[in-house]
């Protein structure tokens, strides 16, 4: 459910840096990539390295965002072990080649998981999930989708803290809002990470070993600090499909936006129960040239019912459909959707708001005006809110904290999302201008962090982090030549 998720601080945009937006065709880049691919052909060979053929074509065009399926890497590496990733990264580093890494392929940021005149490392052959009952830990490979992980682990009665979009791959070491506030951000649940650095070295980072600084930076650092090839996580003991310890579901509305926004703002401001989860998405679908509103509320509570003092405002609003009832955690995860609608240009943007009704109403008005003005370009537009309670931030700190270092909870991560109509392969310049204006009109509340997985690629994600200065120091330690920022796309600011 790409439409339901979703984080941010004033002046969010900057011009692309010299390292940004690689040209589609460049002789220097091509020669460097060709040298890397030639070396990889010798070291790894077919089928681990491919430059043409059906598997190559499928991988090169598999990205969820249609913008990212228009590029053709010089070669693609299909690793099955960390050793293969090491070999690939050493060849890339020695050749000074551009590169990209793709796991679940679910990103709306142009260029972040694809490359032209470069090497693509894709994790389609590394998708295992396992549970060790002795260590009480979950191990995930980087190519697995959340839905696959939840399904594989359900018989053991455990689950990872998942993102809200079950089709997303887990390879980017990021801090998702997650669906279990009692556990902190998703990345707060990392136990060990195997990381291939830019020079091809493989290290295991934990909260207490010599790579503890790297470990913290990976919790929010996206693709800038290396390639994670193994995730060991603390599990959540959720029970199996038969353990209906949750209550919740979907509530669908086709009006009452004002009441829903006020209820959401109040929830953000007042609710701090770690057992409560809420996602609110205001969706405009373009049908016969007109905007058709559908408002979706997904409340969940780890208990026998939805407490009136927490969810009463939403329950009091007349809906057109409700699926509320007892659920297992497996059911809760499934309700959050697949988000796997390929073949369209997708775009994310983000903000973050404290629980003030006026801010929510104002954001809605500007988003609605934007959707109406540019509706001929879209299949749908979405304005979504994920409340981040203070209990979630404190739970993350109790586990060692992350590089995001949010000042506290009681804010909403705000996602602004557009799916463009069929036939468009890029975002028209006038719509980009409109997007820029929309973000100026919906500024984030001061001091709140961006959510890196659902931002516009031009947003200053890292600068919004509380530990940004420390992050820069850690990056300089592990990539002193700045190879990553010079040779692959990702968040700006390092």
Asked if residue 240 lies in contact with residue 330, where contact means CB atoms within 8 angstroms, the answer is: yes
Q: Say which DSSP state 13 is in.
A: B
> 104 is in which domain, residue-wise?
27-122
- Residue 336, pLDDT score: 66
Q: Is the pLDDT of residue 123 over 60?
A: yes
Tell whether 66 and 194 lie within a shared domain.
no
Higher pLDDT, 121 or 5: 121
Tell whether 91 and 134 lie within a shared domain.
no
* CATH code for the domain of 43: 3.30.43.10
Domain boundary among 75, 90, 122: 122
H helix intervals, 336-479: 357-373, 390-398, 429-441, 468-478
Asked if residue 237 lies in contact with residue 329, where contact means CB atoms within 8 angstroms, the answer is: no
Q: Which two tokens stand for residue 127?
A: 């998708």
Tell whether 212 and 325 lie within a shared domain.
no
Q: CA separation (Å) from 134 to 149, 153, 312?
A: 19, 15, 42
* CATH code for the domain of 476: 3.30.465.10
Digit-coded pLDDT (tens) for 180-218: 889 999 899 999 999 999 999 999 999 999 999 999 999
Tell whether 62 and 195 lie within a shared domain.
no
Digit-coded pLDDT (tens) for 432-465: 999 999 999 999 999 999 899 889 999 999 999 9
**Integer Cα distance of 326 and 210 in angstroms:** 45
**Integer Cα distance of 253 and 39 in angstroms:** 57
Tell whether 142 and 114 lie within a shared domain.
no
Tell whether 188 and 164 lie within a shared domain.
yes
Q: Is the pLDDT of residue 339 over 60?
A: no
Asked if residue 179 lies in contact with residue 266, where contact means CB atoms within 8 angstroms, the answer is: no
Q: Say which DSSP state 303 is in.
A: S
Q: Is the pLDDT of residue 132 over 80?
A: yes
**Integer Cα distance of 223 and 69 in angstroms:** 19
Looking at the domain assignment, is residue 375 inside a domain? Answer: yes
Looking at the domain assignment, is residue 15 inside a domain? Answer: no
Q: Is the pLDDT of residue 247 over 80?
A: yes
Tell whether 307 and 435 lie within a shared domain.
yes
Looking at the domain assignment, is residue 6 inside a domain? Answer: no
Looking at the domain assignment, is residue 2 inside a domain? Answer: no
Tell whether 254 and 401 lie within a shared domain.
yes
Q: Say which DSSP state 31 is in.
A: H
Digit-coded pLDDT (tens) for 139-184: 999 999 888 999 999 999 999 987 543 333 333 434 455 568 899 9
Q: What is the mean pLDDT of the chain?
A: 90
Domain boundary among 122, 150, 171: 122
- Residue 178, pLDDT score: 54
Only one residue has tokens 């598999």, namely 62
Tell whether 251 and 378 lie within a shared domain.
yes
Q: Give the closest residue to 386 by CA, choosing from 279, 297, 301.
A: 279
**Integer Cα distance of 101 and 120 in angstroms:** 6
Q: Give the closest residue to 149 by CA, choosing from 196, 104, 112, 83.
A: 104
Looking at the domain assignment, is residue 487 inside a domain? Answer: no
Tell whether 171 and 224 lie within a shared domain.
yes
Which of 37-46, 143-152, 370-379 is least confident? 143-152
Paired with 230 in beta bridges are 194
Tell whether 137 and 216 lie within a shared domain.
yes
pLDDT (mean) for 105-119: 92
- Alpha carbons within 13 A on the beta-carbon side of 223: 27
Q: Which two tokens stand for residue 195?
A: 């990381």
- Residue 12, pLDDT score: 25
* CATH code for the domain of 319: 3.40.462.20
Domains in the chain: how many in total?
Answer: 3
Digit-coded pLDDT (tens) for 390-405: 999 999 999 999 999 9
Task: Give pTM, 2 decimals.
Answer: 0.91
Higher pLDDT, 1 or 305: 305
Looking at the domain assignment, is residue 190 inside a domain? Answer: yes
Grade residue 104 by pLDDT with cuts at 50, 70 and 90: confident
Q: Give the closest residue to 306 by CA, choosing from 320, 324, 284, 285.
A: 324
Only one residue has tokens 């692309």, namely 16
Tell whether 311 and 447 lie within a shared domain.
yes
Asked if residue 424 lies in contact with residue 69, where contact means CB atoms within 8 angstroms, the answer is: no
Digit-coded pLDDT (tens) for 62-95: 899 999 998 999 999 999 999 999 999 999 999 9
Paired with 381 in beta bridges are 284, 418
425 CB-near residues (< 8 Å, 6+ apart): 66, 67, 70, 345
- Residue 25, pLDDT score: 55
Looking at the domain assignment, is residue 349 inside a domain? Answer: yes
Looking at the domain assignment, is residue 17 inside a domain? Answer: no
Digit-coded pLDDT (tens) for 258-307: 999 999 999 999 999 999 999 999 999 999 999 999 999 999 999 999 99
């Amino acid at each position: 459910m790409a439409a339901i998720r979703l984080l941010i601080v004033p002046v969010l945009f900057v011009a692309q840096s010299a390292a940004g937006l690689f040209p589609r065709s460049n002789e220097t880049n091509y020669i460097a990539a060709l040298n890397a691919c030639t070396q990889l052909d010798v070291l790894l060979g077919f089928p681990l390295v491919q430059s043409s053929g059906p598997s190559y074509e499928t991988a090169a065009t598999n990205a969820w965002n249609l913008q990212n399926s228009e590029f053709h890497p010089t070669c693609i590496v299909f690793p099955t072990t960390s050793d293969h990733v090491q070999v690939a990264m050493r060849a890339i580093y020695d050749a000074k080649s551009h590169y990209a890494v793709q796991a679940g392929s679910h990103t709306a940021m142009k260029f972040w998981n694809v490359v032209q005149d470069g090497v693509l490392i894709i994790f389609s052959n590394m998708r295992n999930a396992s549970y060790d009952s002795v260590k009480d830990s979950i191990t995930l490979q980087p190519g697995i989708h959340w839905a696959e992980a939840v399904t594989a682990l359900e018989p053991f009665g455990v689950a990872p803290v998942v993102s809200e979009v079950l089709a997303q791959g887990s390879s980017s070491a990021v801090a998702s809002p997650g669906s279990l506030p009692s556990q902190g951000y998703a990345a707060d649940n990392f136990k060990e990470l195997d990381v291939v650095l830019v020079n091809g070295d493989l290290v295991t980072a934990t909260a207490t070993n010599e790579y503890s600084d790297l470990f913290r930076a990976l919790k929010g650092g996206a693709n800038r600090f290396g390639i994670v090839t193994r995730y060991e996580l603390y599990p959540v003991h959720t029970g199996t499909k038969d353990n209906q310890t949750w209550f919740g579901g979907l509530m669908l509305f086709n009006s009452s936006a004002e009441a829903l926004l006020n209820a959401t703002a109040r929830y953000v401001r007042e609710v701090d129960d770690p057992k409560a989860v809420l996602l609110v998405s205001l969706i405009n679908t373009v049908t016969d040239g007109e905007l058709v509103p559908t408002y979706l509320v997904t409340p969940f509570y780890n208990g026998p019912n939805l407490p009136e003092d927490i969810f009463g405002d939403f329950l009091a609003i007349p809906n057109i459909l409700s699926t509320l009832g007892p659920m297992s955690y497996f059911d809760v995860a499934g309700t959050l959707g697949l988000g796997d609608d390929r073949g369209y240009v997708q775009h994310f943007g983000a903000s973050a708001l404290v629980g003030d009704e006026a801010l929510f109403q104002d954001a809605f008005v500007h988003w609605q005006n934007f959707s109406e003005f540019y509706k001929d370009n879209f299949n749908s537009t979405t304005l979504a809110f994920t409340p981040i309670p203070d209990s979630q931030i404190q739970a993350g700190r109790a586990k060692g904290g992350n590089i995001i270092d949010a000042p506290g909870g009681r804010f909403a991560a705000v996602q602004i999302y557009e799916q463009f109509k069929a036939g468009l392969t890029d975002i028209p310049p006038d719509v980009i201008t409109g997007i820029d204006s929309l973000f100026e009109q919906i500024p984030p509340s001061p001091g709140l962090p961006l959510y890196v997985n659902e931002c516009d690629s031009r947003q200053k994600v890292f600068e919004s982090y509380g530990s940004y200065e420390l992050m820069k120091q850690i990056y300089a330690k592990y990539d002193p030549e700045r190879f990553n920022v010079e040779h692959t796309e990702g968040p700006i600011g390092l």
